[in-house]
Each structure stands twice: as C-alpha cells, then as structure tokens.
Amino acid sequence: MTAPTTLAGLETAGALALTDELRTGLHELYRHLHAHPELSMQEHRTAELIEQHLDGLGIENFRCGGTGVVGVLRNGEGPVVGFRADTDGLPIAEDTGLDYASTATGTLPDGTEVPVMHGCGHDTHVSVLLTVARMFAEDREAWAGTLVLIFQPGEETAAGAAAMVADGLWERAPKPEIVYGQHVMTGLAGTVSLSVGSAMAMADSLKVTVHGRQSHGSQPQDAIDPVVLGAHMVVRLQTIVSRELDPRQAAVVTVGTFHGGLKENIIPASAEFTLNIRTFDEGVRARVLASVRRIISAEAAASGAPEPEIEELYTFPACYNEPAEAEALAGVFRTALGEGAVSIVPPVMGSEDFGHLAAAIGVPAVYWTFGGHPAEVLDGGGPVPVNHSPYFAPVMEPTLSTGVNAAVAALAARLGR
C-alpha cells in the first residue's frame, strides 16, 4: 500500500499542531535526555523515563529486547503504523560547552569506564517521538488506527533491533503495514532529506587474529612475523574494491585498528586488526566478504603461518526505502513542510539496524533525516560538528519542531480521518 497524500491526512497534520506548551515540554525533555545518556543496551534510566511518559498518556507499553520499550496507541479501526526512535548514547567526552552538556559515565562490556554523550542525536529522536505520542494521544478525533511506538536500544552496536525482534516484538505488538524512522544529521535545520531505494549501507565488522612464531627481534629467521604478515594483509585488502569490483559498484573496506607486540625487540606471537566493510548490494557484500577471507588465508599460507582467526563483531542490515513509499512520502513532506525544505538525496555509506524491524515481517520501511545545524554553522567556514563528534549539538529550533512535524505528517497521511 502506497502512503496516501489525501486531504484527510493533510488536515490531520494541521489539527495535530505543535503548540507552545508542547514545544516547551519537548525542549525540557530533550535537555534532560541530552544530559543523561546511556551506553548501548544499558539504557535503563532512559527506558524508565519513556515508560513513565507513556503511562502518563495512558498508552499501553511493554519492555522488549532488554532496555527497549514499545508503546501501542490504539484508536479504533484503521491502519497499523510503526515508528522507531533509537535511545543509546556513545562513549564520547562531550565538549559542546552547553549548560545541559553530559557529564555521565558508563562501563563498556570489557569493564572500561568511559564518558558518555548523545553524540549521534538519539536524544532528539526520543524526545520527538514522545512528543508525537502525546499529540496523538490527546487528539484522538483527528485520526484512527493503531500507532506502534518503538523505542529501540543498541543502535550503535547493531544489537537493538535484532534483540527486540528476537524478544517477540511482532508477536506482542500489532504488525504494522509500514515502519517509519528518522535521524538528525548535519544538514540545515528545518529541512528533511530522504533517499528512494537504498538509504544506508550494510556494514560488516570483523576481527582478524594473525598467528606467527615469537622470537627475539635480532633472530627473524626463527620467527614468523605476524606484524609483517598482517601488514601485507592490510595492503592487499585494499585491492578488493580497486581491482576486484566493477567501478560502478560501491563498497568500502577499512582497517580501523592494528595491534601487535609489546616491545620493539620482540617479534610477537600474534597480531590483531579489525575491519569495517560497507556495501549496498547483497551480491557485492558476499563477494567482498569472500575476498577478505581468501586474501587473509592466502597471505598466511604464503608466510607459512597458521590459519588466522576471523571473528564477526557485528552486522548492520540494509536500510532500504521502498521507492513508491519514499516518493509518496516526499510529496507529503513538501505539502507539510514546504517545497524547499525537502530533498531527495543519494544513499550514504553510514549504516543503521532500523531496516531489521520491517524486514523481519516483510513490510516496507521509509527512513529519512532532518537537519540539525543553522546556516551560519554550515556556511561559516569552520569545521562543522558531525555525528559522533564531541562537538555535535543540534540547535534546538527549528530542529526539534521539524522532527515532530515530519513525523506527524508521515503518520497523518496514513492514520488521518
């Protein structure tokens, strides 16, 4: 079913207006969330806050996937639509200088204590969706159907969406006909962007342990040097994109870390590096992954070394906007936000686990972004704070209002009376 752009839907968007009272509450909620971030799959206080808000609105809700929360807002017969907001922060020391900047800390799975920041804007996503939930709960005359509110943990580690699905998300909540999601980015505040078809890349992260033979640095003849061997692997892996793929096929192979040895005059017994691979096409993905394994194994054999160990760290699924749905939604946004506020953009190499929520039940999804910076920041000639930067701080307005208005417009186009 293609998203309608009916008069009823557009009238609903107008009825569900963001009042001054709602905007004040939106800002207060955002400030609180920004100051109190939590690491992936550890969003305990955030989940409790979401539950309190949903309870206060009379919206039935349940925990799902550990620290995930699902709200189900029913309002008679009509379509079922899902909307997702991710909730986790990042291990970043905030350096924005805001009076509501985070001073929170958290503990990584390996026991390391780290500073925590909402450096990717998930605080905007939660505050926006809770505000949208309030608007729909308090104005039931304007719409009909069921809204499934998905507050998903662990997006940054690709764990959250899969955990919610595995925990029975779609057995416990009504199955939607479509799932929507949005993300704040570094674009112009007050604007939204979306892609038709592929929106974000798949991602695969691997850890490779290279085994050699330890020896004194002065006796290389008695060693199999895993540092030299690993260096050959790193260089050779870069030829996958440049020499094995059709130039018209997009892929990225990045070696992000390399560790080996403890002292300069000891050839170590092992070395370790990690890879991140981005692709849009399943066939390209399979070919790149197969080439990675082939090269690593062959280089080890060429050095007379044992077979390396390759461990999968995490995998992000495709983030795909069903074309007819995306094009129809672009029309909805142009009507609701203004022609100049909406852009159709190419896909990006960043990744999201959002697509897993809809793919798990075979329904379409549409995912868009809204800008978070004013023109003077974008055009000021200095560095622009990007997502995952310690300086990333979306300007509150019109960023938050745009997120709310885009979400309301998308939902009203389907649920409006």
**Tens of pLDDT, residues 262-288:** 999 999 999 999 999 999 999 999 999
* Domain ranges in the chain with CATH number 3.30.70.360: 202-316
The CATH class given to the 202-316 domain equals alpha beta
What pLDDT score does 381 carry? 85
Cα 390 to Cα 397: distance, rounded to the nearest angstrom: 20
The single residue listed with the structure tokens 């029913």 is 74
Half-sphere exposure of residue 198: CA atoms within 13 angstroms, side-chain side: 17
Q: Structure tokens of 285?
A: 């993905």
* Domain ranges in the chain with CATH number 3.40.630.10: 7-200+318-415
What pLDDT score does 103 carry? 98
**C-beta separation of 55 from 73 below 8 A:** no
Give the strands of the sheet with 202-211, arranged side by side. Answer: 251-260, 270-279, 202-211, 309-316
What pLDDT score does 380 carry? 86
Q: Which residues are catalytic?
A: 88, 155
Q: What is the pLDDT of residues 330-383, one digit of tens each?
A: 999 999 999 999 999 999 999 999 999 999 999 999 999 999 999 999 998 889
Q: Is 265 exposed, middle or buried (0-12, 13-18, 19+ CB in 10 A)?
A: exposed
CA angle 398, 59, 127 (to 5 degrees): 20
- Residue 347, preceding bond cis, omega within 30 degrees? no
Q: What is the pLDDT of residues 181-234, one digit of tens each?
A: 999 999 999 999 999 999 999 999 999 999 999 999 999 999 999 999 999 999
Q: Percent of the chain at pLDDT above 90?
A: 95
Long-range pairs of 172-175 with CB within 8 A, sequence gap ≥ 24: 172/62, 172/64, 172/70, 173/70, 173/72, 173/82, 173/148, 174/72, 174/80, 174/146, 174/148, 175/80, 175/361, 175/363
Q: What is the pLDDT of residues 10-33, one digit of tens each?
A: 556 667 899 999 999 999 999 999
Phi then psi dihedrals of residue 349, to 5 deg: -80, -5
Does this model's pTM top 0.75? My answer is yes
What pLDDT score does 9 carry? 56
Amino acid identity, position 366 = V
Q: What is the pLDDT of residues 161-179, one digit of tens each?
A: 999 999 999 999 999 999 9
Say if domain 7-200+318-415 classifies as CATH 3.30.300.20. no
Q: What is the mean pLDDT of residues 297-312?
A: 98
Instruction: Report the interhelical angle of 282-302 vs 226-237 (nearest 10°).
Output: 150
What pLDDT score does 294 carry? 98
Q: What is the mean pLDDT of residues 47-61?
A: 98
Classify the C-alpha dihedral 298-299-304-306 as positive or negative: negative
**3-state DSSP of 106-157:** EECCCCCEEECECCCCHHHHHHHHHHHHHHHHHCHHHECEEEEEEEECCCCC
Contacts of 404 (CB under 8 A, 6+ apart): 18, 22, 26, 128, 131, 132, 135
